């Protein structure tokens, strides 16, 4: 059985469309910078309100990536 060691980093992403889009943006960005991304946990969701309306959706997530040998 192979062993591995992973690390977790916190990422915050924002979208004007939806929480789902904010998650997508964050995961895509993590994949462009980190190798071996294996999962994410959505820690927090926030709405930014502008003039009484939703202006942006923000997520804070913990992204797990496996360290290279």
Domain boundaries, the chain: 6-66
13-54 pLDDT, tens per residue? 999 999 999 999 999 999 999 999 999 999 999 999 999 999
Fold of 6-66: Dodecin subunit-like (3.30.1660)
DSSP characters over 8-60? EEEEEEEESS-HHHHHHHHHHHHHHHSSSEEEEEEEEEEEEEETTEEEEEEEE
Summarize the confidence of residues 5-9 as an average pLDDT: 95
pTM, to two decimals? 0.87
């Amino acid at each position: 059985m192979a062993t591995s060691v992973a690390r977790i980093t916190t990422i915050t992403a924002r979208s004007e469309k939806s929480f789902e889009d904010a998650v997508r943006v964050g995961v895509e960005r993590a994949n462009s910078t980190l190798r071996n991304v294996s999962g994410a946990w959505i820690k927090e969701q926030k709405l930014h309100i502008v003039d009484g309306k939703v202006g942006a959706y923000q997520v804070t997530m913990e992204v797990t990536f496996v360290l290279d040998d």
